[in-house]
C-alpha cells in the first residue's frame, strides 16, 4: 500500500513537472476566447443581416376594445404586477399562476409617431383577443416622423383626388415615382445650383473683407474692391432669385400632390406624396417582393444620407469619413513610425537614453485615448489651427477654419495614438533581418544607408505592414478622441466637393464608430435605433476587415518575394 501511494504521488508529480495541467488551462482559455469572438461576430452578423428584411404587419385587438397595428419586433417574458393581475379574469389569473406569475408579451413597432407620440408598444398575451394580418395594410417609410403603419386611402394628382382600393395600384406607383423625381429635382437645385451660387457669394464677400483688412484706411484699392463686390453680388443675386423661383414652383407642385394615410383606428394623416421614401403592402409581398425591398433598403443604407436622428436612411457620409480618416492616419503614421524605429535600431547608440526612449514609446500605447483627444484639440486645433487661421485666413475670423476640429486634426491625433504600435512593430521587423545580410552588403562596398535601403528595409516590409495593419484596426475603431477633434452627429458637407481645393481637410466629418454611439445611446428611441446599431457595427467590421485584408495580401506577397533570398 505505501508503495502504491508513493507511485501515485510520483505520477502526479510527473504531470505537474511536465506542465500538463497548465497546458490544459491555456488551451481552454484559448478555446473560450475563440468561442467568445465567434459568438460576438455571429450575433452582430445575424442581427445586422436581418435588419432590413421586411416583416408582416399584424393587427391586434385587445380586451379593452382598442386596436393596434404594427410589426412584431421581439417577445419577452415578464412578471405581472399585482394590480394588473387583480383586474384579470379568473382563468387568466390561473394561467399566469401556473407559469409562476410570469406572462409573455410582444413588442410591436406601431410607427405613426406624429399621431401616437411613440414608436413601439407592448402587448401582453393575456390582453390579446385576436390577431390578424389584413392584406391591405401598408408600411410607409417617410422622410419625417418615421414609418407609418396603416392604409393608403387616396392621393391627389393634377388637382384631382384618386381613391386607392389596392395599395399595389399602378396609378399610385406612377404618381409616387413622379413626386419623388420632383423632390430629387428640388434637392438638386437647392444643394447643387443654389449651393454653388451661395459659395460664389461667400467667396466674393471674403475677397472684399481681405481687401478691407489689407487697406484699413480705405483708398482706391478698397473702393475698387467694394465696386467689384457690388457688381458680382448683383450678378449672383439675380441667379439666386431665378433658381429660388424655380425651386419654389416645384415646391408648390410638391405640396399640392398629397397622399392620405389612415391608421387602423381611422385617424388620417395628409402629407406630400413626395415625402414617401418607400411603401409596400407588407402582407402581400412574395419572396421576390421581399428581396426587392431588402436590396433597396441596403442600397439606401450604403448610398444615402441619414434621417430621423440617424435612426433611418443611409450612412454614406459616415462611410466616407471613416475611410478618409483611416487612409490619412496611415499616410501620417507610417513615415513617422518607420523613421523613428529606423533611427532607434540602426543609428542610435544603444544605451540608457535609448532604453528610456523605448520604454516611453511602449508606455505611450497605454495612455487613454481621450488624453490624445484633449492634446489634439489643444495643440492641433487651437494652437496650430489658430495660427494657420491668423496667417492665411484672416478674412474668415472670428469663424474658425482650421482652428476647430476637422478631418486633418482627427487623423493626426489618431496617428499620434497609433505611432507606438508602428514603432514597436518596425523595430522588431528590423531586428529580424539576419546580420549576415548586413555584413555581406557592407563587405561588397555598400554604405550603411545603401544597406538599409536595399537590404534591410525591403526584408522588414512585412513586419512594417503588420504595424500598419494594427494601427488601421485601432484607429478605425476609436471614438473618444474623435468626439473632441472633428467628428459630428450630422455633417452637412462632405470633406470633398467640386470647389477648389476640392479636398477640404478642415471640415468636420461623420464616423461609423461615433454613429454607433450616437444611435445606440443618444437617439430618442433606443428600440428604433437598436437595429441600426447592429447593421452599422457589421459594416464597420466589414470595412476594417477589407482594409486589413488588403494590407495582409500585400504583406504576404512581400514575404514570398524575400522568402528564398536569405542566407
Per-residue pLDDT averaged across 411-430, rounded? Answer: 92
Residue 234 reports pLDDT greater than 90: yes
The per-residue pLDDT for range 458-495, each reduced to its tens digit, is 888 888 988 998 898 888 888 999 999 989 988 877 88
| CA 158/CA 161 separation, integer angstroms | 8
Confidence of residue 419 (pLDDT cuts 50, 70, 90): very high
Confidence of residue 18 (pLDDT cuts 50, 70, 90): low
Residue 535 reports pLDDT greater than 50: yes
List the alpha helices (DSSP H) in 304-384.
316-342, 352-364, 369-375
Residue 6 reports pLDDT greater than 70: no
Predicted confidence at residue 337, as pLDDT, reads 92
Per-residue pLDDT averaged across 44-64, rounded? Answer: 93
Per-residue pLDDT averaged across 270-297, rounded? Answer: 94
Residue 564 reports pLDDT greater than 80: no
**Do 82 and 101 contact (CB within 8 A), yes or no?**
no
Higher pLDDT, 238 or 92: 238
Predicted confidence at residue 9, as pLDDT, reads 52
Predicted confidence at residue 277, as pLDDT, reads 94
**Do 425 and 466 contact (CB within 8 A), yes or no?**
yes
| Closest to 69 (Cα-Cα) out of 57, 52, 77, 87 | 57
Per-residue pLDDT averaged across 41-55, rounded? Answer: 94
Residue 566 reports pLDDT greater than 80: no
The residue length of the chain stands at 567
**Do 535 and 48 contact (CB within 8 A), yes or no?**
yes
Residue 279 sits at the vertex; the CA angle it makes with 275 and 284, to the nearest 5 degrees, is 165
The per-residue pLDDT for range 140-179, each reduced to its tens digit, is 999 989 899 999 999 998 888 999 989 999 999 999 999 9
Higher pLDDT, 84 or 50: 50
Confidence of residue 567 (pLDDT cuts 50, 70, 90): very low
Predicted confidence at residue 212, as pLDDT, reads 87
| CA 391/CA 408 separation, integer angstroms | 18
Confidence of residue 71 (pLDDT cuts 50, 70, 90): very high
Strand partners for 496: 503
Phi, psi of 326, rounded to the nearest 5 degrees: -65, -40
Predicted confidence at residue 41, as pLDDT, reads 94
Residue 11 reports pLDDT greater than 80: no
Query: How many other C-beta atoms lie within 10 A of the C-beta of residue 238?
Result: 11
Crossing angle (nearest 10°) for helices 526-563 and 512-521: 160
Contacts of 408 (CB under 8 A, 6+ apart): 328, 380, 402, 505, 506
Predicted confidence at residue 157, as pLDDT, reads 85
Q: What is the mean pLDDT of the chain?
A: 89
**Do 485 and 413 contact (CB within 8 A), yes or no?**
yes
Residue 14 reports pLDDT greater than 80: no
Query: How many other C-beta atoms lie within 10 A of the C-beta of residue 185?
Result: 15
Confidence of residue 455 (pLDDT cuts 50, 70, 90): confident
| CA 231/CA 227 separation, integer angstroms | 6
Predicted confidence at residue 1, as pLDDT, reads 47
Predicted confidence at residue 562, as pLDDT, reads 67
Q: Give Cα 294 distance to the centre of its chain.
A: 20
Predicted confidence at residue 26, as pLDDT, reads 87
Residue 474: burial class (beta carbons within 10 Å; 0-12, 13-18, 19+): middle
The per-residue pLDDT for range 289-305, each reduced to its tens digit, is 999 999 999 999 999 99
Per-residue pLDDT averaged across 490-507, rounded? Answer: 86
**Do 256 and 159 contact (CB within 8 A), yes or no?**
yes
Most confident range (mean pLDDT) of 231-245, 298-312, 496-510 is 231-245
Predicted confidence at residue 441, as pLDDT, reads 87
Cell of 536: 452599422
**Do 194 and 240 contact (CB within 8 A), yes or no?**
yes
Amino acid at each position: 500500500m505505501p508503495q502504491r501511494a508513493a507511485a501515485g504521488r510520483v505520477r502526479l508529480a510527473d504531470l505537474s513537472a511536465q506542465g500538463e495541467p497548465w497546458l490544459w488551462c491555456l488551451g481552454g482559455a484559448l478555446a473560450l476566447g475563440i468561442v467568445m469572438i465567434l459568438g460576438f461576430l455571429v450575433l452582430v452578423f445575424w442581427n445586422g443581416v436581418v435588419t432590413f428584411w421586411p416583416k408582416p404587419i399584424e393587427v391586434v385587438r385587445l380586451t379593452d376594445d382598442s386596436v393596434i397595428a404594427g410589426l412584431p419586433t421581439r417577445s419577452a417574458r415578464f412578471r405581472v404586477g399585482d394590480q394588473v393581475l387583480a383586474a384579470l379574469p379568473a382563468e387568466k389569473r390561473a394561467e399566469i399562476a401556473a407559469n409562476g406569475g410570469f406572462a409573455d408579451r410582444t413588442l410591436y413597432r406601431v410607427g405613426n409617431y406624429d399621431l401616437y407620440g411613440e414608436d413601439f408598444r407592448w402587448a401582453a398575451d393575456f390582453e390579446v383577443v385576436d390577431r390578424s394580418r389584413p392584406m391591405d395594410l401598408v408600411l410607409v417609410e417617410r422622410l419625417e416622423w418615421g414609418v407609418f403603419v396603416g392604409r393608403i386611402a387616396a392621393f391627389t394628382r393634377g388637382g384631382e383626388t384618386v381613391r386607392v382600393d389596392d395599395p399595389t395600384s399602378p396609378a399610385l406607383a406612377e404618381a409616387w415615382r413622379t413626386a419623388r423625381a420632383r423632390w430629387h429635382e428640388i434637392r438638386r437645385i437647392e444643394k447643387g445650383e443654389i449651393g454653388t451660387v451661395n459659395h460664389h457669394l461667400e467667396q466674393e464677400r471674403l475677397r472684399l473683407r481681405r481687401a478691407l483688412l489689407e487697406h484699413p484706411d480705405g483708398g482706391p484699392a478698397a473702393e475698387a474692391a467694394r465696386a467689384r463686390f457690388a457688381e458680382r453680388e448683383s450678378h449672383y443675386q439675380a441667379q439666386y432669385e431665378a433658381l429660388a423661383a424655380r425651386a419654389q414652383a416645384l415646391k408648390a407642385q410638391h405640396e399640392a400632390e398629397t397622399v392620405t394615410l389612415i391608421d387602423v383606428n381611422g385617424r388620417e394623416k395628409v402629407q406630400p406624396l413626395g415625402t414617401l421614401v418607400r411603401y409596400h403592402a407588407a402582407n402581400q409581398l412574395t419572396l421576390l417582393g421581399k428581396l426587392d425591398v431588402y436590396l433597396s433598403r441596403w442600397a439606401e443604407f450604403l448610398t444615402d444620407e441619414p434621417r430621423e436622428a440617424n435612426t433611418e436612411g443611409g450612412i454614406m457620409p459616415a462611410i466616407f469619413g471613416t475611410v478618409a480618416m483611416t487612409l490619412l492616419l496611415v499616410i501620417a503614421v507610417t513615415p513617422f513610425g518607420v523613421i523613428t524605429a529606423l533611427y532607434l535600431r540602426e543609428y542610435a547608440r544603444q544605451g540608457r537614453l535609448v532604453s528610456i526612449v523605448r520604454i516611453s514609446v511602449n508606455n505611450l500605447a497605454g495612455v487613454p485615448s481621450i488624453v490624445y483627444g484633449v492634446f489634439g484639440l489643444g495643440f492641433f486645433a487651437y494652437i496650430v489651427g489658430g495660427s494657420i487661421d491668423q496667417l492665411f485666413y484672416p478674412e474668415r475670423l472670428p469663424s474658425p477654419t482650421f482652428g476647430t476640429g476637422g478631418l486633418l486634426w482627427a487623423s493626426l491625433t489618431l496617428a499620434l495614438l497609433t505611432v507606438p504600435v508602428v514603432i514597436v512593430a518596425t523595430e522588431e521587423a528590423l531586428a529580424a533581418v539576419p546580420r549576415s545580410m548586413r555584413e555581406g552588403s557592407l563587405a561588397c562596398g555598400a554604405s550603411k544607408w545603401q544597406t538599409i535601403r536595399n537590404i534591410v528595409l525591403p526584408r522588414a516590409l512585412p513586419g512594417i505592414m503588420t504595424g500598419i495593419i494594427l494601427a488601421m484596426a485601432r484607429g478605425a475603431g476609436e471614438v473618444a478622441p474623435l468626439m473632441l477633434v472633428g467628428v459630428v452627429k450630422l455633417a452637412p458637407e462632405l470633406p470633398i466637393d467640386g470647389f477648389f481645393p476640392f479636398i477640404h481637410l478642415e471640415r468636420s466629418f461623420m464616423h461609423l464608430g461615433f454613429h454607433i454611439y450616437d444611435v445606440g445611446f443618444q437617439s430618442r428611441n433606443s428600440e428604433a435605433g437598436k437595429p441600426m446599431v447592429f447593421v452599422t457595427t457589421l459594416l464597420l467590421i466589414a470595412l476594417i476587415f477589407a482594409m486589413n485584408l488588403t494590407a495582409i495580401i500585400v504583406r504576404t506577397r512581400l514575404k514570398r518575394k524575400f522568402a528564398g533570398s536569405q542566407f
